[in-house]
Structures are given as C-alpha cells and as structure tokens.
Structure 1
C-alpha cells in the first residue's frame, strides 16, 4: 500500500530535481525527505532517482511513476475536498417534492437561488400533490416538500413560505360575473366543482369549513384532485369553484375570477422536512431556502 506522504515527497523531489529545494517546499529537513523517498523505493522495489554527485535524475521507473503519482495526489486532494464539502452540506443530492402551484413560480425561483448558493447540490424534482408528498415522506422518498400543510403522523416540521387569498372561479357569462365580489351566501345551491376529499384534502377541508361557518350548501357536482381539471370543468359551464388566487396563472379562456367578500381564509404553502433527517445537503438546502423566502418578505 502506497503512503501518500511518501508519494508527495517523491513528486516534490521529481519536480524540483533538487532534494534541498523539495525539502524546503514541503517544510521538512532534507534527511527526512531522503528517508521518505528511500522507504518508497523499498516499498516499490525499484530505484526512482539516479544520484550522480550533486546531480539528481529520474530513472526510467521514476519517470513512469511520476505521472501516476501526480494523478494519485490530485485524486486524493479532490476526495478530501469533496468529503469536506459534503460534511458542510455544500455537495450531495436533495429530492424535492412540490405541488403544481409551487412549480409555477416558487420552485423555479428557488432553483435559481440554489444554483448560485449551492451549485454542487444535485436537486431531483418530483411533482406530487400534498397528500402524496406526506406519503412520500413516510416512505423516505423525498427530503424536502413544498405543499399545503396537512396533519401527519410523520415527524415533519413545516415552515410557511407563502400564502394567498381564495377566489371564486366562474364560467364566462355566469349570472355572478356581474358582481365585483362574491358573497359566500351567493354560492348557496350553485352547481359547484369541489376538490377531492382525499387527494385534494387541504382545499376540501378549508372550503367546507367556509361553507359550514356561513351555512352555505352548494350542489357538489364533481370532486376533482387537480386545479387545471377543475378549471376545465368550470370553463365548460359545469359549475363554479373556489380556488387559490394563483390559479389565475393558468389563463383559461372563458373563466372569470372574483374575490370573496369579507373572507380571510387563505391558502398556505409550506416547506416541510423530516425532523429526524441528518443529510447535511438537505439541511444546507433547507436553510438556504428559508433565507431566500425570508428575504422576499423584508
């Protein structure tokens, strides 16, 4: 087994072809340098240098060994740098779950920030609805998630990163389009496209809470998981719906949006992570993300 210290002595001496200068370069005495090279030659079973008077030359074996020895030191230095960066969380992989709503603007902005702050971290993206992200955390299939905050039996921690008002989506030409704002009471007995109570659980529970509080009873015609599909059904005139403000970004033709009068319920977006995770790269990315979002609210 090669001793890297001995290899380093050989490379210095082979580069300088002067043992005194090589020893000074390595901050050691010349006898110590001579000793290390002698041990290396014994280990390899070959002579690496020819010493003729005060002149030092590489043997054929020494010239052959120099190229590999230089590469070996370079690889060792790279490995040392990599492991140190890994211990600080500046290199590694982060599996990032996100909802469709987060993918429109939040995630692209965050990835741009990460590209500058943590360029050696590899980010693997997985688009999942919030319920599926909770399940992915349970299976340890994702490291960080951007999702609507939901109760979980997993040891998860949440950081609120964004919130937005809820609005009413109406098919163009609907009778309620003449109002600038919609009272929840005006949705009573209206055909309503509702979020799924399973995969759309966050919005289902929030909207049902709004209706229960105001004793509004729409006619639920469909239960749908994804916002784009809800908008498609609204556009087709199959009902109205309540969606987060950001749903307007989908730019569906023949769909109009109105604010809800006097309504303070908001849709929240949180960053989630397992409290028991110990991956330095995940911790570094999480802290960078937290600072990124904090700077946006200053």
Structure 2
C-alpha cells in the first residue's frame, strides 16, 4: 500500500531534482525527506533516484513512476475536494417530483437558478401528480416535491411557493360565455367535468367546499385526473370545469375562460420534503429554492394568472 505522504515527497523531489529545495517546499528538512523517499523505494523494491556528483536524476523506474504518482496525488486532492463539497451540499443528487402545472414554468426557472448556484448537483426529474408524489416520498424515490398540498401521514414539511386563482372553463358558444365573470350560483346543475376525488383530490376538495358555501349542486358527468383531459372534454362540449388559472397556458381552441366573481379561493403550489431527510445536497437545494422563491415573490407578488380575466 502506497503512503501518500511518501508519494508527495517523491513527486516534489522529482520535479525539483534538488532535495534541499524540495524539502523547503514541503516545510521539512532534507534528512526526513530522504528518509521518506528511501521508505518508498523499499516499498516498491526499486531505486527512484540516482546521484550524479552533487545532483540527482530520476532512474528509468523513477520516470515511469512519476506520471502515475502525479495522477495519484491529483486524484487524492480531487477526492478530498469532492467529499468536502458533498458535506456542504455542493455536489450530489437531488430527485425532484413535480406536477404538470409546475413543469410549465416553475421547474424550468428553478433549474436555471440551480445551475448558477449549485452547478455540481445532479437533478433527476420525475413528473407525478400530487398523490403519486406523496407515495413517492413514502417509497423514498423523490427528495423534494412540487405539488398541491394534500394531507399525508408522513412527516412532510411544506413551503408555499405559488398561488393562483380558480377560473371557469367553458366550451365556446356556451350561454355563460356572455358574462365577463361567473357567479358560482350560475353553475347550479350545469353538466360538470370534475377532478377525481382520488387522484385529483386537492382540487376536488377545494371545488366542492367552494360550491358548498353557495349551496350549488353540480351535474357531474365525468371525474378526471388531469387538467388537459378536462379541457379536452370541455372543448367537446361535454361540460364545464373549474381549473387553476394556469390552465390557460394550454391554449385549447374552442375553450373560453372566465374568472369567478366574489371568490378568493386560490390554488396553491408547495415545495415539500421529508422532515427527517439528512442529505446535504437536498438541504442545499432546498435552501437555494427557498431563497429563489422568496426573491421571486418579492419582485413579482402578482402572478400573470392572478390578473386573468
């Protein structure tokens, strides 16, 4: 087994070809340097230096060994640097779950910021609905999640990162399209495309609670998990729907959107993580993301979706 201290003494002496100067560079005297090199030669079973008068030069074996010894020291320094960076969370891997809504703008913007601040962290992305992300936390397949905040038996912590209003999606030509704003009571008994109570339970719960306050009864024709499918059914004239304002980004033809009058219900997007996680890379990424979203909210307190018609 090679001793890195002995290898370092050899490389310095081989580079300087002067034991006195090499010893000075290593902050030691010449006798200990010579002793370290002799020990290395005994370990290798070869002579690395030969004296020619008052000078020294490398033997053939010494020249061969110098290249590998230099690489060994470089790798050693690189390993030390890597482990120190890892301990500070500046390198490593972070697995991020995100919903389709988060993937449109939130995640790309966050990744650009991460690339500038934490360039050596490897980010693995998994697109999952909110319920699936809760399950992924349980299976330890994601480290951070960007999801709608839903109840979980796990020890998860949530940070609100974005809010947007709910709006009504209508098939083009629907009688309600003549209104600039929709009263919730106007949706009474309307054919309605509703979020699934299982996989879309965040929106299902918020919409049902919102309508219950107005004593609105819906004629639910379909339960659907994903926003694009709800929009497709609305476009086909099979019903109306209530969606987050960001649904307008999908640009479905023959679908019109209207804001909801006298309603303050917001669709929330949160960053979630396990409270017992101890991965330095995850901690560093979470702190960076927290600062990123705080700065974003400070400069853009009103999102484009909030100003939707």
Q: Taking structure 2 as the reference length, what is the TM-score of the superposition? A: 0.96
Gaps of 5+ in 2: 299-309
Count of equivalent residues: 298
Q: Which residue of 2 aligns with 1:74?
A: 74
Gaps of 5+ in 1: none
Alignment of 1:1-298 (within 5 A): 1-298=1-298
Q: Distance in 1 between matches of 2:161 and 2:285?
A: 14
Q: Distance in 2 between matches of 1:235 and 1:247?
A: 13
SS at match of 1:214: coil
4+ residue segments displaced more than 2 Å? none
Q: Distance in 2 between matches of 1:29 and 1:228?
A: 75
Q: Distance in 2 between matches of 1:297 and 1:105?
A: 14
Q: Distance in 1 between matches of 2:274 and 2:260?
A: 35
Q: Distance in 2 between matches of 1:54 and 1:214?
A: 100
Root-mean-square deviation (CA), in Å?
Answer: 0.6
SS at match of 1:168: strand
Q: Distance in 2 between matches of 1:66 and 1:60?
A: 10
Q: Distance in 1 between matches of 2:54 and 2:262?
A: 94
Q: Distance in 2 between matches of 1:23 and 1:149?
A: 63
Q: Distance in 2 between matches of 1:118 and 1:203?
A: 34
Deviations along 1:154-183, whole A, 9 cap, x unmatched? 110000000000000000100000000000
* More moved, 151-160 vs 35-44: 35-44
Deviations along 1:169-204, whole A, 9 cap, x unmatched? 000100000000000000001000000000000000
The alpha carbon displacement at 1:53 in A equals 2.4
The alpha carbon displacement at 1:213 in A equals 1.1
Q: Distance in 2 between matches of 1:28 and 1:215?
A: 87
Q: Taking structure 1 as the reference length, what is the TM-score of the superposition? A: 0.99
Q: Distance in 1 between matches of 2:274 and 2:177?
A: 44
SS at match of 1:297: helix
The alpha carbon displacement at 1:152 in A equals 0.3
The alpha carbon displacement at 1:25 in A equals 1.2
Q: Distance in 2 between matches of 1:42 and 1:218?
A: 88
Q: Distance in 2 between matches of 1:39 and 1:190?
A: 89
Deviations along 1:70-118, whole A, 9 cap, x unmatched? 1110111111111111101100001100000000000000000001111
Q: Distance in 2 between matches of 1:68 and 1:266?
A: 63
